[in-house]
Amino acid sequence: MKLVHISDIHLTRPGERMGGLDPHRRFAQALDEVRSKHQDADRIVITGDLTHWGEPLAYAALKDALFDLPCPVRLLMGNHDDRANFLAVFPDQPRDANGYVNYAEDLRGTRLIYLDTTAPRTHAGHFGADRVAWLEKQLESCKRARLFMHHNVMTLGQPAEDKIALVSEDRLAFADLLERFADKIDYLHFGHIHALCTGTYCGIPFASVRSTGNQSLPDFTETELLHGAPMAPSFAVIEVSENTTVIHDIPFTWDGPIFSSGTGWDDWAKPVAAE
């Protein structure tokens, strides 16, 4: 199974910039890279912050951008998104009985579970009892699972960033659920932090992915401000086989020279200076 993980595209109304960048151009470059080099992908998963201000025209631009792709696209909500405006543009989007954009599908023996961790007018993550109950049923009825979400459900040791992780009052129940089903959850995938971060939580490996726009600069002492810069973006390609997950970081805006070399020992030998 091959999954393309894109996150934090932060689309605006066409023509508006975000953080000094054109988010539409960056997203188009990412999709062009998928079209040209990842035709064998099974799913493209975009884990939230689909837009920057949650505007209908931004969601319309997203819909227009999703053409001629090699596989289905799965869309998730982020803290910058407006669920009602999103659903108005994507009326066929699956959701749970409470209206959250929680949904799942089985692919090659694994249940891919897409979570809605957002709440109105807050950048922090939320996943209350009603959402936990939905996720519990999904995990009870599958053999293997892989979770995708926008927010990091664990703190990361960055005080300012941790203020907008999953809120502490929801974290305990979520962690309890992960611990109960750790034997069948292969991986946690999220965005939100605009940086690469990997580790384990409740015995389950996790990985974040960079934004297609601005990237964050981790700060382990700052308590109030989030730092970022228009550094090089990337997305992830997740290769899944039996008992193995390999995640590749894919840069997609480089337009400079590319150098090639062989893999033999002598291919890397120091050149002999001409006499």
Please give the pLDDT value at position 153: 98
Please report whether residue 263 resides in a domain.
no
Sheet bearing 185-190, strands edge to edge: 103-107, 110-114, 145-149, 185-190, 204-208, 198-201
Please give the pLDDT value at position 274: 53
Please report whether residue 261 resides in a domain.
no
> How many domains is the chain partitioned into structurally?
1
pTM value is: 0.96
Please give the pLDDT value at position 118: 98
Residue 141: name the closest of 170, 177, 173, 184 by CA: 184
Please report whether residue 70 resides in a domain.
yes
Phi/psi at 171 (5° precision): -70, -35
Please report whether residue 271 resides in a domain.
no
- The percent of residues above 70 in pLDDT, for the chain, comes to 99
Distance CA 24, CA 17 (A): 9
Q: For 185-216, give one letter per residue: b (16+ CB within 10 A) or e.
A: bbbbbbbbbbbebeeebbebebbbbbbbbbbb
Distance CA 239, CA 250 (A): 13
Domain that includes residue 18, residue range: 2-254
Give Cβ neighbours of residue 22 (< 8 Å, ≥ 6 apart): none
Q: Which residues of the chain have pLDDT under 70?
A: 273-275
DSSP 11: B
Please give the pLDDT value at position 272: 82
Please give the pLDDT value at position 242: 87
Q: Which CATH number do you get for residue 146?
A: 3.60.21.10
Please give the pLDDT value at position 71: 98
DSSP string covering 162-177, please? Answer: HTTSB-HHHHHHHHHH
Q: For 101-111, give one letter per residue: b (16+ CB within 10 A) or e.
A: bbbbeeeeebb
Distance CA 94, CA 112 (A): 14
> How many Å is the maximal CA-CA distance in the chain?
79
pLDDT tens for each residue of 107-131:
999 999 999 999 999 999 999 999 9
